[in-house]
């Protein structure tokens, strides 16, 4: 389930980035790259586990869903930190000058 959630988030982030390009003021390309990197990693993990061990290709249970949401939240957190550091609207700069 974590692969499915991450792949869905990658598709959504890519669509949002494409709609808002070429400006990319909010660094949606970074969010897209984070999720695509995780989705490709999970895909390789699933394929290798399926080839070596067999069984179900997708795990759909509460633990896998929890892991998927934690990956999504971590990706959002990293993107938010980068966004706050870059401060595209100069909000933090104005606040810190006061």
Local confidence pLDDT in tens for the 98 residues of the chain: 889 999 999 999 999 999 988 888 889 999 999 999 999 999 999 899 899 998 888 888 999 899 999 999 999 999 999 998 888 778 877 888 87
Q: Token pair 């939240």 is at which residue? A: 73
Q: Token pair 């933090």 is at which residue? A: 92
DSSP sequence for 37-55: HHHHHHHHHHHHHHHHH-S
Q: 65: which residues sit within 8 A by CB, 6+ positions away?
A: 1, 2, 5
DSSP 77: H
């Amino acid at each position: 389930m974590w692969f499915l959630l991450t792949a869905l988030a990658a598709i959504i982030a890519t669509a949002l980035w494409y709609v808002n390009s070429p400006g990319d003021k909010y660094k949606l390309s970074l969010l897209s790259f984070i999720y695509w990197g995780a989705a490709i990693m999970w895909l390789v993990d699933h394929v290798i586990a399926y080839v070596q061990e067999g069984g179900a290709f997708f795990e759909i249970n509460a633990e896998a869903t929890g892991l998927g949401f934690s990956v999504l939240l971590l990706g959002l957190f990293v993107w938010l930190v980068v966004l706050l550091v870059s401060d595209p609207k100069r909000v933090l700069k104005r606040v810190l000058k006061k």
